Structure 1
Amino acid sequence: MSAEPLLHVVLFEPDIPQNTGNIGRSCVAVGAKLWLVRPLGFLMDSRYLKRAGMDYWQHVDCEVVDDWDHLLTRLQETIQGDGSGAAPRYWFLTKFADKLVWEAKFAPCDVLVFGSESRGLPETIREANAETCLKLPMRDHVRSLNLASTANTVMYEAVRQFGGLPEV
């Protein structure tokens, strides 16, 4: 993985190791860094996590942080440490958003934040960042979408918007 991730994908208190493993595999595919905010609903050595990530898990650029504030600090250090001096730009994915994913203007190094499978993002985080909350469209009959499917869709929409993956 390169020193500068194309995107930063945050899973806030994820519950299901298989989803995290699948998202990790997608992060490898697009060159994104995966951030996991504790508490996690599984152990990092979970066989389910490794199975879902298949033989790609050793390539996942992954950092586990203790809480939301620690994440914000680490992302600030990481993104500003890349030499660009840019502040991180966050997008929060929630079914409670008013804006659709297609309305966002994604850029390299953006931070995509996803909530846990059972609770989503906390209301305090959603309210503090209402202008950058996004959702995927879905009919009323569906309560929620699978986290790995949602993360995959949003990552590839971001990559599509800024012109695809760089040549490696």
Structure 2
Amino acid sequence: MDIRSLHIQTPFHFPSKKLSLFRPFTFLHFKPTTPRLSPLCSLNGSAKTVPSNEGTFPRGVGDAVNQASRSNILQVVLVSPQIPGNTGCIARTCAASAVGLHLVGPLGFQVDDTKLKRAGLDYWPYVVVKVHDSWEDFHDYFRQQEGDKRLLAFTKRGTNIHSEYSYRKGDYLLFGSETSGLPPEALLDCKTEPFGGGTIRIPMVETYVRCLNLSVSVGIALYEASRQLNYEPLQIPSESCIHTEESFITEDIFG
């Protein structure tokens, strides 16, 4: 018997039809009529123009952020991130915690990378992302911002434990590349007055693990800082958000 084709004997069997064991299956995808969007907004002001060699962000990034939801309480800065999936997950965390996200080049991926979009799911309208070509460009941007502000470097060699450090409004939480950490110039700025707030570490057993995943580290640090500030970044009323009918990815593959 030819194992590649089998006659299926059922009450609805049609003799002329054969079922091939090697025929690819077809899956149907049903898009929900109402996209699942986070009720929280991030701070306002999206820098959607990015270097031409970096590509473009998912369409609609930051569009659901209202002027009324402006907040500069906390911000996350990724310096030379290399893995798009990590950055996408971090963008999702920033949307959930209502903080802005800064990406400092050179990046290890195109900002229109499929993995970046997929990890961020359909939450891109709820996070404001600013892209800076280099640390020098970010440093110039940072100095021009008004109000109290500090640069806090998260590194495994940090001198302060993350849960024992006292966070303040206006803190920028800096995280380095997955492969090489923060560059020397960023670490120096974080240690130098008037804007340097020092270096911070997240305790861990280093016997078997060299470091925590970048997106995990950001989540730990960001929510500890938010907790100390009584979750003030999350107190933005949902009515100040502009709900969008556009959904980038409707399946929450990361749970």
* Structure 1 residues 8-19: aligned runs within 5 Å: 8-19=75-86
**For each residue in 1:91-126, what CA deviation from the matched residue of structure 2 results, as whole angstroms up to 9, or x when unmatched?**
100001121111211122210000010110123432
Considering fraction of residues, name the structure with more helix: 1
* Structure 1 residues 50-89: aligned runs within 5 Å: 50-77=117-144, 79-80=145-146, 85-86=147-148, 88-89=149-150
Structure-2 residue corresponding to 1:99: 160
Structure-1 residue corresponding to 2:20: none
The 4+ residue runs of structure 1 with deviation greater than 4 A are: none
RMSD: 1.5
Shift of 1:129: 3.0
**For each residue in 1:7-61, what CA deviation from the matched residue of structure 2 results, as whole angstroms up to 9, or x when unmatched?**
1100000000000000001111111110001111111111100000000123220
Matched, 1:149 2:212: no
Partners of 2:219 and 2:79 in 1: CA distance: 16
Matched, 1:3 2:77: no
**Structure 1: gaps spanning 5 or more residues:** none
Partners of 1:100 and 1:91 in 2: CA distance: 12
Contact 1:5 1:31 in 2 (8 A): no
Partners of 1:67 and 1:89 in 2: CA distance: 19
Could you tell which deviates more after superposition, 154-163 or 118-127?
118-127
Contact 2:151 2:189 in 1 (8 A): no
Cα distance, 1:125–1:74 mapped onto 2, change above 3 Å:
closer
Could you tell which deviates more after superposition, 137-146 or 2-11?
2-11
Contact 1:21 1:57 in 2 (8 A): no
Partners of 1:145 and 1:52 in 2: CA distance: 18
**Structure 2: gaps spanning 5 or more residues:** 1-64, 192-196, 238-255
**Pairs aligned (count):** 162
Partner SS for 1:148: helix
Contact 1:6 1:30 in 2 (8 A): no
Q: Which amino acid aligns with 1:11?
A: L
Matched, 1:133 2:193: no
Partners of 2:73 and 2:177 in 1: CA distance: 23
Partners of 2:109 and 2:159 in 1: CA distance: 32
Contact 2:135 2:186 in 1 (8 A): no
Shift of 1:5: 3.4
TM value normalised by structure 1: 0.90
Partners of 2:143 and 2:187 in 1: CA distance: 19
Partner SS for 1:55: coil
Partners of 2:182 and 2:96 in 1: CA distance: 25
Structure-1 residue corresponding to 2:174: 113
Matched, 1:35 2:98: no
TM value normalised by structure 2: 0.60
**For each residue in 1:53-92, what CA deviation from the matched residue of structure 2 results, as whole angstroms up to 9, or x when unmatched?**
0001232200100111211221233x30xxxx33x21110
Identical amino acids, percent of aligned pairs: 38
